[in-house]
Structure 1
Amino acid sequence: MKRVLVTMLAALLLAQPAMAQHGDEGDSALRRGLAYRSNGDAALAAHWLSVAATRGVPEAMFILANMRLEGEGVARDEGEARRLLEEAAQMDYAEAWQQLALMEKDPVKAAQLMRRAAHALTHRGEGKR
């Protein structure tokens, strides 16, 4: 009986969403930012995504970087966008690696970045993230 309970507890802990590792504040800020963005308030969305990014949520870093690239709710700033993407990529966020590859002018470096993105996706699929 103990083994069954321990196994069930371990399965429950492993099944937690990837966002849970960033804490409730980061997750809450991310959800708030996404809600404001979907309701058309890009400035408020950028604020809450920035809060989530500061708390280490790579998805928020990625979205905020793309908002920076487009000037959506914030001043257009390619340098800040790149910094956010690089920070998210260092957390092995596949979409950030891919975006950096698409921004890269050197085809050899772009291919390396795409391989990093593919590698990160492989690990996400294996649940190692």
Structure 2
Amino acid sequence: MTLVVQLLKESQLPVIVVSVAGYPTGRHHTLIKASEARLAVQSGAEEIWVSVDDTITDSNTHLSEFITIREACPDPIELGLIAPADANAEPSAQSAVQAASLAAFQRIVSTPGAPAFEEAASPLEIVEVDL
């Protein structure tokens, strides 16, 4: 466990340690993202947010990547998809959101003003953050 995680646990504050994989472009190889995610979990992360390549519109490609990451980070680790903020990436984002739901992700992480994913994201939680 890293020093920061250890200090957070000792403080007994209601804190969740979140890390990212493939950030910011999502253009990392799938195995690199899975390795980043697994290392973060081994270092104390309880949740992983995954960036996707916004040029990929095939949901099967996204699904394959998300299943690989889920296998690297089994339950109870929670997974979130960082949805592309660019409105031009909407077809990619929609297919990624659908694949995230199938791969047992828990949430969609989007920036304020990003395209709406409510319909595609159901039943995933949508969290808006400034990245």
Per the TM superposition, whether the score is higher than 0.5 is: no
- Where relative contact order (Cα < 8 A, 6+ residues apart) is larger, the structure is 2
Q: Which has the larger radius of gyration?
A: 1
| Structure with the higher helix share, 1 or 2 | 1
TM-score by length of 1: 0.32
TM-score by length of 2: 0.31
| Structure with the higher strand share, 1 or 2 | 2
